[in-house]
Chains A and B, each alone.
Chain A
Amino acid sequence: MRQIYLDNNATTRVRPEVLEAILPFYKEQFGNPSSVHWAGRAVTGAIEKAREQVAALINCSPAEIVFTSCGSEGDNMALKGTMEALQNKGDHIITTTVEHPAVLETCGYLEKAGYAVTYLPVDADGMLNLADLEAAITDRTVLISVMWANNETGNLYPIAEIGKIARKHGIRFHSDAVQAVGKVPVDVQTANVDLLVISGHKLGAPKGVGAIYIRRGTKLTPFMHGGHQERHRRAGTHNVAGIVGLGLACELAGKEIDLVWGRVKELRDRLEQGIFDNVSEIKLNGHPTERLPNTLNVSFAYIEGEGILLNLDMLGIAASSGSACTSGSLEPSHVLGAMCVEVSLAHSSTRFSLGTDTTPEDIDYVIEKLPPVIQRLRDMSPLYNCGHTDRCETCSVLTK
């Protein structure tokens, strides 16, 4: 069966060049980079090269990069490490209602531990009002955490402007840039961020590796205690192969960012147009333009996302109903909830996230196959047939 992968915000295929580059580190170059002998020395350089490659992509110094195991680790490290390090200065975090669970759940944990958290609302397009941010700042505020791009809608947030506000008030600024790095230009200097989190598998590196940018001079209490790796900022034997892969993936992404992502955006727009031309009663979730070039999130009235995904899967099309981390959960997406998308529409949301390997034929296949699936599901839907959209007796099974 034909396989079309449109779930690149969940994870990406490891790039062939990356796979090629990391294999030696599972074979002859097996050493521990912390060892002094020949086996260790042979890999130390590879790690430092990777550090340079990552740093170059986001415009920082290699010394400001610390390797981690994943995006969630980076976010935990940034939030918990900051609040502990700055506990004499304040106890207040400002974040948004649409962050990834790695940030939201960590904030929830910190709230239980006695810290105060303000969650900024978003409008119907999922965008922030920066006046809300200014208004939320108090003399206890020590951290602002706003994602660079939203994983579900693809929305891009005005990081540089937020960075200016943070700088003006002397507040540390963290950005979960897991979905942005490799897809759009990310420059930590112009953006004024102090902490920035990257995940390898979102840009063609393997799973199990990530990085956090820590601006020079930023005091952060270590999260993982142990050996002296990463200058005592993150203990644990290096995931050498993963780090090498992340480095190369960053270098490749930097070279291709305009070229490939211009093409990916064209394909995304083609998909969006094709769906809107062929299916009625649908809604775009997210901002029409301020959005990642690869992401399209659409709600199809009257039906459930789960039914759509299963049918697409049977046709070989991999999409998602939101974050892979929350799929299978009962709640409709917290992101769409924050955008006040009607519950029944939120339940029907479907996310297509394209990759650098997506082809025009893939897109045309989806445009051909999707509309009949939607129609068939609607024909079976009690919601569609009874003509109501919400809070209807006939269809109470489907609505809240």
Chain B
Amino acid sequence: MSGYAGKRIVVAMSGGVDSSVTAALLKEQGAEVIGMTMQIWDYSAYAENHPDACGSCCSPDDVHDARRVAEGLAIPFYVVNFEDAFQREVIDRFRADYLAGRTPNPCVLCNQILKFELLLRRARELNADYLATGHYARIDGEGDRLALRRGLDENKDQSYFLFPMTREQLPLVLFPLGTMTKAEVRTHAVRCGLRVAEKAESQDICFVPDGDYVRFLEEHEDLSHLGGDIVHVDGTIVGRHNGFYRYTIGQRKGLGISWREPLHVIGIDAARCRVIVGERRYLDTMACTVDRVNWLIDVPQKTLSCTCQIRYRHAGVEAELIPLDDGKVKVHFAVAQQGVTPGQAAVFYADDRVLGGGWIA
């Protein structure tokens, strides 16, 4: 990292180790660092019903931690309120996706709308030169040829979540941890005396701290009308389910069906409230359509080869991309893929560079 003396940098602080180290390192390099934490979820309302729920990513405890870290670093610290946008852009869409038979990825939306639109705007309003986050990803290159790349720590790489970033945003954003391993980050945390050095990773979806998204959906509204048939691909009705949103592509357990071979969920037909099941071979998919594609390179006019990653912990597969109209792309996998799930993101890489990505239709 080069020095940032004289630069004003807003750091998105979540109260965790990564963003705390990000702030500490930038301060060490002479930047004028301002900490900001997004308040995105009204925990007071949630806590009334869930007294034991102590959140993961932006809970009151984390706001407290972020504030204390900022105090320790002697930097200004602000809590900005994005509850409204979070509800509309992340939670409402999370629900809508499930109720349309898709399996959503709310973290991508949170990054896209909350961090790199709203928080970046707050940073710009404060005359900041950059917004920095603790993501494990890299931005390099010159001028308007900047490239978004995977973080060097293979286990932590978070570039998958960042594909909706725009080329206008890249020059305004810093990922100081992109060249480090998690172990190095923890070492820095200890060296800088950060109180959160030992803090555990956050894992769950922050607004579903117990991981029980079915309960989360059902608490909000009566979904009992979304029950229906479980249907084999050959058309045989093989069972009943009480809510198709409870099922995910690839799922085998919990179907409650006796059949010659193990059955998996291979599709969800929300319009007819049907869960489609079939033998394992039916999960094999050679192609899919990806829509709302965002490109971090010039929009390709012809077929393009890449490595395609179809979920966060997916190793990636060689694929051919055929640009279609309306921002869509047809993806042909070189090898059959299982668990190609509508609602998840498909992200296109060339080596470690993010070329673009979109949403599996």
Q: Mark B55-86, 1 if CB is under 8 A from A, else 0.
A: 00000000000000000000010111101110
Residues 158-194 (chain B) with a chain A CB within 8 angstroms? none
Using Cβ atoms and an 8 Å threshold, which residues of chain A touch B39? Answer: 328
Cα–Cα distance between A394 and B281 once the two chains are bound (Å): 46
Query: Closest approach, in angstroms, between the C-beta of B142 and any C-beta of chain A?
Result: 26
Is B97 engaged at the interface, CB distance under 8 Å to the other chain?
no
In the complex the two chains form, is A314's CB within 8 Å of B126's CB?
A: yes
Give the nearest-CB partner of A308 in chain B. B125
The answer to whether A397 and B118 touch (CB under 8 A), given A310-B78, A313-B76, A330-B81, is yes
The tally of CB-CB contacts under 8 A between chains A and B is 37
Is A220 engaged at the interface, CB distance under 8 Å to the other chain?
no
Is B117 engaged at the interface, CB distance under 8 Å to the other chain?
yes
Contact of A380 among B42, B84, B124 (CB under 8 A): B124
Is B240 engaged at the interface, CB distance under 8 Å to the other chain?
no
Cα–Cα distance between A330 and B45 once the two chains are bound (Å): 12
The answer to whether A310 and B118 touch (CB under 8 A), given A329-B81, A330-B83, A330-B84, is no
The answer to whether A310 and B126 touch (CB under 8 A), given A330-B81, A330-B84, A380-B121, is yes
Q: Mark B111-143, 1 if CB is under 8 A from A, else 0.
A: 001000110011011110000000000000000
Cα–Cα distance between A330 and B125 once the two chains are bound (Å): 20
**What is the interface size of chain A, counting residues whose CB is below 8 A from a CB of the partner?**
14
Cα–Cα distance between A329 and B81 once the two chains are bound (Å): 7
Query: Closest approach, in angstroms, between the C-beta of B60 and any C-beta of chain A?
Result: 11
Query: Closest approach, in angstroms, between the C-beta of A319 and any C-beta of chain B?
Result: 14
Cα–Cα distance between A377 and B125 once the two chains are bound (Å): 6
Query: Closest approach, in angstroms, between the C-beta of B91 and any C-beta of chain A?
Result: 13
Using Cβ atoms and an 8 Å threshold, which residues of chain B touch A187? Answer: none
Is A170 engaged at the interface, CB distance under 8 Å to the other chain?
no
Using Cβ atoms and an 8 Å threshold, which residues of chain B touch A306? Answer: 80-81, 122
Q: Mark A312-328, 1 if CB is under 8 A from B, else 0.
A: 01100000000000001
In the complex the two chains form, is A311's CB within 8 Å of B125's CB?
A: yes
Residues 362-389 (chain A) with a chain B CB within 8 angstroms? 376-377, 380
Query: Closest approach, in angstroms, between the C-beta of A177 and any C-beta of chain B?
Result: 28
Give the nearest-CB partner of A303 in chain B. B125
**Could you jot down 14 A-B contacts, CB within 8 Å?**
A306-B81, A310-B78, A310-B80, A310-B126, A311-B126, A313-B78, A328-B79, A328-B81, A330-B42, A330-B81, A330-B83, A380-B125, A397-B113, A400-B84
Shortest beta-carbon contacts, A-B, top 4: A330-B83, A307-B125, A330-B84, A328-B81
Q: Which residues of A contact B (CB under 8 A)?
A: 306-307, 310-311, 313-314, 328-330, 376-377, 380, 397, 400
